[in-house]
Structure formats: C-alpha cells, structure tokens
C-alpha cells in the first residue's frame, strides 16, 4: 500500500544517493592542465602522460596526487603468510610490474605506500579501487593462496586480503 502526502505525491520511496569519490571533481579541469606534483596532463577529457606540455597550461593537482598528499587511499591490499615471507622478493617484483604497467596506461592508478604490519603482514595502499583488486588477483594467479575482496558499505574503498 502506498502513502501520499497532501499534494498527492507518493512518499513511500526512498531515494538512494550514489556515493561519489570526493577526489573526482564534478567538473573537468581546464584543458590542458598539468599536475605540478607528478607532471601528468589533463587533455582531451582525461589525465594522461605526455612528453610535451604547453607552457601556458593550467596548473591543477591530479586526483592521485591529492590522495597521496592527504594520505587517503582508495584501496588497501594486505598480504600475509609464511609463503609471503619466503617469496617476498618475487611477489614484490610482481606487484611492481603490475603497478607500473597500469600506471603507464592509467595515470590515476598508483601505489601510495608500503608498510610492514606488526603481525608480519605487508600492507600496500593505492589511489584507485581497481588496482589493489588486480594486483591481488595477479598474486593469486601466480602463487595461489586465499584471496578475499571487500567493498565496505558507504565507503569509497576496497580492501583486498591475500594469504598463503
């Protein structure tokens, strides 16, 4: 049964607002714009690596550099286990290769930091929600183990856990 207000409008529907990434602006930057931190250029509707930058280009910090500056990751990858400890160098090379490959094509996909947890885990933070998931899947594909991906409700964050 639906209910109506005094004007005859239905009021039994809840409008679910989308969660938006606060680091993605509502309007596009002026084209061309260059990030003063990393040198990535916003041109033709997207951020991209360019060798030549117009001298009169607008200066605007890119979303990835803003996340790094504010220390607000969009993704967290936690690695654990005895296998990690005995194969750390191989796994870290795999991670570096995957991150560099993605960063070359998609400048907003970057690794922010790498920390060692008190429990012997390795914690990596990322500027993007897709990269930690992709890195986790690459590790699982290469070394098996258990992979868990969590998307916390009401958060612009992905948490990925791998253990073996």
134-159 pLDDT, tens per residue? 999 999 999 999 999 999 877 789 99
**Pair 132, 110: CB distance under 8 Å:** no
Question: Residue-wise over 30-53: b if at least 16 C-beta within 10 A, else e?
Answer: eebbbbeebebbbbeeebeebeee
**Pair 143, 91: CB distance under 8 Å:** yes
48 within a domain of the structure (yes/no): yes
What's the mean pLDDT when you consider all of the chain? 88
54 within a domain of the structure (yes/no): yes
Given pLDDT bands bounded at 50, 70 and 90, which one contains residue 31? Answer: confident
Range of the domain at 151: 73-163
Within this chain, do residues 36 and 107 fall inside the same structural domain, yes or no?
Answer: no
**Pair 147, 160: CB distance under 8 Å:** yes
Within this chain, do residues 46 and 120 fall inside the same structural domain, yes or no?
Answer: no
User: pTM for the whole thing?
Assistant: 0.82
φ, ψ at 139 (rounded to 5°): -65, -45
4 within a domain of the structure (yes/no): no
pLDDT at 152: 84
- Each residue's pLDDT tens digit, 116-130: 988 989 999 999 999
Within this chain, do residues 41 and 81 fall inside the same structural domain, yes or no?
Answer: no
Please state the domain count of the chain.
2
Within this chain, do residues 36 and 112 fall inside the same structural domain, yes or no?
Answer: no
d(C-alpha 124, C-alpha 32), whole Å: 32
Within this chain, do residues 30 and 93 fall inside the same structural domain, yes or no?
Answer: no
pLDDT at 9: 60
């Amino acid at each position: 049964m639906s209910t109506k207000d005094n004007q005859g409008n239905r009021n039994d529907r809840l409008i679910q607002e989308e969660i938006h990434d606060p680091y993605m602006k509502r309007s596009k930057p002026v084209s061309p714009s260059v990030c003063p931190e990393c040198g990535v250029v916003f041109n033709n509707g997207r951020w991209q690596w360019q060798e030549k930058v117009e001298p009169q280009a607008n200066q605007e910090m890119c979303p990835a550099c803003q996340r790094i500056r504010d220390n607000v990751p969009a993704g967290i990858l936690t690695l654990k286990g005895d296998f990690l400890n005995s194969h750390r160098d191989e796994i870290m090379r795999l991670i570096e290769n995957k991150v560099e490959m993605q960063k070359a094509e998609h400048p907003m996909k970057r690794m922010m930091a790498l920390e060692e947890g008190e429990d012997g885990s390795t914690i990596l933070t990322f500027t993007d929600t897709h990269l930690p998931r992709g890195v986790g899947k690459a590790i699982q594909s290469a070394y098996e183990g258990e992979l868990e991906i969590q998307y916390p409700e009401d958060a612009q964050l992905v948490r990925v856990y791998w253990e073996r």
